[in-house]
Amino acid sequence: METKRDTDQPIFRKTPPHPERRRFLVAACSLAPALALADSLPPLEQSGSEAASVALPTEARVDRALRQFGMGFHCAQSVLEAYAADFGIDPMVARRMANALAGGSGIGGECGAVASGYLVLGLRHGSTTPAYGDVGKEAELFGRISRFVSEFKKRHGAITCRELLGVDVFTKEGREEGLRKDLFMTRCPNYIRDAIMIVDSLG
């Protein structure tokens, strides 16, 4: 499913990306060197089991995630890493975790920005007791996830990477079509932005 909205208009392109950089975005090859980001992130605070009080304003978080995406990281990595410091998670750990969610995890699953949104909501509101040990807390978490999905669908019409982009990025043909139509640079930043804005609106 493809929706019109304003997602067909570029919001994040100052200069045309180099062809090699475009291929890097979707080929799931090597990550950018870790040191490329090290100096730009604030030091992490140790937080134990509670979230560290280093939460960024939503727009600053969006800017950070879009900067990561612009460096060549996947939507999922860009979103989760933008929240890493809130929970005392090493950015490299967040990056590796979220890599498994990129492009619908290669099986047609949720957009990486959406899937990382689930993880952030879990980190904020998830239970630490055995299954069904805290039914009320789990109900609260899944209620937030339901509202997150509903709002994302309202804005974009779907939540799976394949439906949002109209191509399967894990096939050669899908990647080539996505690059030819510039889908990754004109649509994905919108999904990153909205995923973060919706998550933060849910508290």
Tell me: the pLDDT tens digits for 111-146?
A: 999 999 999 999 999 999 988 788 999 999 999 999
Is residue 47 one of the residues assigned to a domain?
no
Distances (CA, A) of 95 to 32, 146, 169: 11, 25, 19
Task: Record the tokens describing residue 134, joined without a space.
Answer: 């805290």
Is residue 8 one of the residues assigned to a domain?
no
Q: Name the pTM for this structure.
A: 0.73
Is residue 42 one of the residues assigned to a domain?
no
According to DSSP H, which parts of the chain are helical? 19-27, 35-38, 58-70, 75-83, 91-99, 112-125, 135-156, 161-165, 172-180, 183-186, 188-201
Is residue 14 one of the residues assigned to a domain?
no
User: What is the mean predicted confidence (pLDDT) over 50-77?
Assistant: 86
Q: Are 78 and 68 in contact (CB under 8 A)?
A: yes
Is residue 24 one of the residues assigned to a domain?
yes
Is residue 7 one of the residues assigned to a domain?
no
- Domains in the chain: how many in total? 1
pLDDT tops 70 at residue 108? yes
Domain interval for residue 138: 19-29+52-201
Is residue 41 one of the residues assigned to a domain?
no
